[in-house]
A and B are shown apart, each in its own frame.
Chain A
Amino acid sequence: MDELSLLSRVSLYVLLALIAILALIIWGWQIMVLRGRAIKNADGSVDDWHEQKIVYGMAFADVFVACPASVAGVVLVFLNPRWGFFLMAMVSFWFVWANIMTTVTSLRFEKPKFTLAWFVAFPFGIFVGLAFIAWTLIHFDKIYLH
């Protein structure tokens, strides 16, 4: 971490902050879904496992695996960078995968209006995840091989 330039550190902190914020929002959102609340998405669809049980599994996995791992990864980058970056590799991959899944489903089946809220709720996580992976590749030697 000490070998990173100022620009590299600032870009890392921005990406980590975005990942942490998104993970915390998803965590809170999915906790409400898991408790049985019907929550409307930015594309007009509704997450309500009473109506569609499919929503329950994803909420459960997000609440107990993906979101805690994301927050733990961000914290560990500062406390134990080796573990932190290793965990963040998996987290960034999950960010891209999960957001591709929700975005393509929304685009094909919900015919959404392309608002800022839709962009933040659906494809934004793909760009954040890809940006973190790109950052990792650029700084690969410094964060993993030193």
Chain B
Amino acid sequence: MSILNKSVGRFPLGVWIAVVAILALFLGWGMQAYSLLNWDRAVELGLQNERFSGGPAEGAWAKESWGVAMADVIWPLPIGIAALVGIFRKRFYGLLTGSMELGIGVYFPLVFAFQRWSTFRGTAITAICLWLVPSLLGIVGLWVNRDYFRK
């Protein structure tokens, strides 16, 4: 039995890591939802990096960021809710939707890091630490505890 199978209260450690990683992703989806409501304010708060009015290059970045924000709110946000419900109810769909959610948690910080490493390195490192690493650990944590969800 690996340390990720070790029971810590309600869940094995690996499942706890996945739960924390999903909650961390919710922070991101919340930022994205707020950005769609008030883009300029979101830039001021540092939730987004580019303005639509900032010239052709910056505008192109803003368009892409807006598309990502919209996709995040339409798709990973509701799936994340399903994942948390499934995990807390110990249902197998929690394992699946949790894996889906965490898969995006690995993918998008990687995209972000390679896009913005030279311009917003601090933000890229934050995305890697806050979302990529926990999501990767969460996927492993869910997989090694897959039998837990059959109860």
On A, residues with C-beta under 8 Å from B are 51-54, 56-58, 60-61, 65-66, 86, 89-94, 96-98, 100-102, 104-105, 108-109, 136, 140, 144-145
Contacts and interface: CB of A to CB of B under 8 A. Distances in A.
Interface stretch (B5-13, B15-23, B110-118): B110-118
Contacts, number: 94
21 contacts: A51-B57, A52-B61, A53-B115, A54-B64, A56-B115, A58-B115, A60-B111, A65-B110, A66-B107, A86-B96, A89-B103, A90-B102, A93-B100, A93-B101, A96-B75, A97-B75, A100-B70, A100-B74, A100-B75, A104-B67, A108-B63
A104 to B, nearest CB: 5
Nearest to B106: A65
A110 to B, nearest CB: 9
Contacts of B119: 53
Interface of B: 57, 60-61, 63-64, 66-68, 70-72, 74-76, 79, 92-93, 96, 99-104, 106-107, 110-116, 118-119, 139, 143, 150
